[in-house]
Amino acid sequence: MATTRAVLRGKSAVFEREGQRGRDGLKRWLGPDYRLGFLFVLPIVALVLTLVAYPFFYAVYLSMTRKYVGVPPVFVGLENYWKLSHDGFFQRAVVNSAVFTFGSVGIKLVLGMGMALVLTSKIRFRSFWTGVLLIPWVAPTVVTALNFLWIYDGSLGVLNYILVKVLHILPQGVGWLSEAGTAMASVVAVNVWRGFPFFGISFLAGMKAIPGELYEAAAVDGASPLGRFRHVTLPGIRNILIIVMLLSTIWTFNDFAIVYILTKGGPGGTTMVLPVFTYEMAFGAQRLGEAIAAALYMLPPLAFVIIVLARYMRRGRK
């Protein structure tokens, strides 16, 4: 009895030692914290695989098929992309998207910079001003779009009322969203209204981090306010500036709700941007393959922006 127990004890000790070595080997391969690490990232891996990676690759496949709702897809290679590149409506949507995106981002940059500069100057109640100016960013996008739909209203909207009856700037009201000449500017204005506070707050955070001595040194050297802005402020927030602009480019390019609610791409396609085009193609015309091809058409430049941006964001953390 005693001997068997001793043998068993000996055996289990051997096992333990082997187990230990096995685990050390695993630790060498998989890293010292691999068990808790894998356990903790498992949900994210599952989520990204099922809800992002798989749909993405499925989308790439579908974009190469002729697919209608309720009918199995037929593989057609790059036909959808080829068709799109000769489709006048699609080309127009690409141009509109570019105008919408770069116009909005440009104006947001200027307004955001102004906001940040004003908030860093000597003012009272700074946190109150900062807090209030950030509200458009947290308010629901759909509410914003609906508010402006009502403000822009051609016959009863308050914008026309102010311009015609209060300020007497215009002789008569304008159909801001229904006239081809003003529709794009009007939707850009709403996107700017919603997005400029993010620029302002981010620049503000960057400016706060610039050491005061740099400004003092520049002042001693006789730099003008403009010179201080160019040689101290701008270089100091360079990284943030790049990150915010790239982030906003992605978000603005993919803004669906504002344009969809305000104009649905009209009048006559003058505000038809790609996300709305994709939606209409998929759920209006029910041509899924082409719709996805339209969504993925802009992937190469978008992927480029994403990769550059990801690099800057990671560097910003270190």
Partner 1 sequence: MTRRARSQVAGARLQSAASYAVLLTLLVIVIFPFFWMTITSFKNEDQMRSLVSMFWPSPFVTDNYRQLLGKTDFVAWYKNSIVVAVSSTLVATAIGTIGAYALARLRFLGRAFMASAVLITYLVPPSILFIPLYAQIRNLGLADSLTGLIAAYPSFTVPFVTWLLMGYFESIPEELEESAMIDGATRFGAFYRVVLPLAAPGLLAAGLYAFTQAWNEFLYALVFITDVKLRTLPVGLSTFITGDVYGWGYLMAGAVLTTVPVIVAYIYLQRYMVEGLTAGSVKG
- Stretch 203-262 residues interacting with partner 1 (CB under 8 A): 205-206, 208-209, 239-240, 243-244, 247, 250-251, 253-254, 256-257, 260-261
CB nearer to partner 1: pick between 20 and 50: 50
Rounded Cα gap, residues 313 and 316, in angstroms:
5
Nearest approach in angstroms of CB 182 to partner 1 is 18
- Please check whether residue 100 is in contact with residue 273, taking contact to mean a CB–CB distance below 8 angstroms: yes
Tell me which stretch binds partner 1 (CB under 8 A): 15-23, 78-86, 129-137, 216-224. 129-137
Nearest approach in angstroms of CB 312 to partner 1 is 9
CB nearer to partner 1: pick between 121 and 172: 121
Rule CB under 8 A: which of 15-44 touch partner 1?
29-34, 36-38, 40-41, 43-44
Nearest approach in angstroms of CB 215 to partner 1 is 14
Cα-based distances in Å from 55 to 60, 174, 282, 283: 9, 44, 16, 18
CB nearer to partner 1: pick between 218 and 291: 291
β-strands 74-75, 65-66 pairing: antiparallel
How is residue 188 written in tokens?
A: 């850009």
Nearest approach in angstroms of CB 11 to partner 1 is 29
Rule CB under 8 A: which of 61-120 touch partner 1?
62, 111, 114-115, 118
Among 76, 98, 214, 306, interactor with partner 1 by CB under 8 A: 306
* Interaction of residue 316 with partner 1, rule CB under 8 A: yes
Rounded Cα gap, residues 291 and 275, in angstroms:
10
**Exposure on the CB side of residue 151, measured as CA atoms within 13 A:** 13
Rounded Cα gap, residues 217 and 315, in angstroms:
28
Rounded Cα gap, residues 109 and 46, in angstroms:
38
Binding mask of the shown chain, residues 159 to 188, with x at each position contacting partner 1 by CB under 8 A: --x---x-----------------------
Nearest approach in angstroms of CB 259 to partner 1 is 11
Rounded Cα gap, residues 165 and 155, in angstroms:
13
Among 14, 48, 217, 285, interactor with partner 1 by CB under 8 A: 48
Rule CB under 8 A: which of 135-164 touch partner 1?
135-151, 156, 158, 161
Among 123, 170, 234, 285, interactor with partner 1 by CB under 8 A: 123
Among 188, 197, 232, 233, interactor with partner 1 by CB under 8 A: 197
Angle among Cα 300, 246, 310 to the nearest 5 degrees reads: 75
Task: Output b/e per residue, 192-229; b: 16+ Cβ within 10 A.
Answer: bbbbbbbbbbbbbebbeeeeeeeeeebeeeebeeeebe
Question: What end-to-end distance do the CA atoms of the chain give, in Å?
Answer: 63
